């Protein structure tokens, strides 16, 4: 159902983690993703702890799903001296190519406890269905 769009994304993530760089709008940091399918929908969960829900953008153009988010630094006021800052800041992004078996018009998004969950319905044409078999009685055709 999903196709990876950038084979070097994991290498970029590790490099950014070791160098401590932050993502920008032109070079965003990748965000972790889990994905699974149930019988009626495809579910994707993105880790975005500490991100304001208003700072999350979800776009679908053709079959390309793009999720972007920005974690901004917290302003605690004057006179605050930071002792440690390990949580990454900046822009995070992930692009996923959706297959034709999914219905991008029905995407639902929920954000809870730092996890963005997208639910994409499986298109009707991709759902299993039973085909009825018509039966004609050969004996009636012979008698006529």
Q: What is the DSSP string of 79-127?
A: T---S---S--EEEEEEEEEPTTB-GGG-EEEEETTEEEEEEEBPGGGS
Q: Which two tokens stand for residue 25?
A: 């709008």
Determine if the pTM surpasses 0.85.
no
DSSP bridge pairs for 117:
45, 110
Mean pLDDT, residues 84-107: 87
Q: Which two tokens stand for residue 125?
A: 């044409």
The answer on pLDDT for 118 being more than 60 is: yes
Predicted local confidence at residue 69, as pLDDT: 93
What average pLDDT is seen over the chain? Answer: 81
CA atoms 18, 20, 26, 28: torsion sign: positive
pLDDT tens for 6-39 read 666 666 656 655 655 566 555 667 788 999 998 8
Buried b (16+ CB within 10 A) or exposed e, 100-134: eebbbeebeeeeeeeebebebbbeeeeeeeeeeee
What's the CA gap between 37 and 47, in Å, rounded? 18
What's the CA gap between 8 and 130, in Å, rounded? 42
Predicted local confidence at residue 46, as pLDDT: 96
- Residue with the larger pLDDT of the pair 110 and 124: 110
């Amino acid at each position: 159902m999903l196709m990876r769009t950038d084979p070097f994304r994991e290498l970029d993530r590790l490099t950014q983690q070791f160098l401590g760089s932050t993502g920008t709008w032109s070079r965003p940091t990748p965000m972790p993703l889990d994905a699974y399918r149930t019988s009626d929908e495809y579910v994707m969960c993105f880790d975005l702890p500490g991100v304001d829900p208003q700072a999350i953008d979800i776009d679908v153009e053709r079959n390309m799903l793009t999720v972007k988010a920005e974690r901004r630094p917290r302003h605690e006021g004057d006179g605050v001296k930071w002792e440690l800052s390990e949580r990454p800041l900046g822009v995070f992004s992930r692009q996923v190519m959706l297959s034709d078996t999914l219905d991008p018009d029905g995407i639902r998004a929920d954000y809870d406890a730092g996890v963005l969950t997208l639910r994409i319905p499986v298109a009707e044409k991709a759902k299993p269905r039973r085909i009825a078999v018509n039966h004609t009685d050969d004996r009636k055709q012979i008698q006529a």
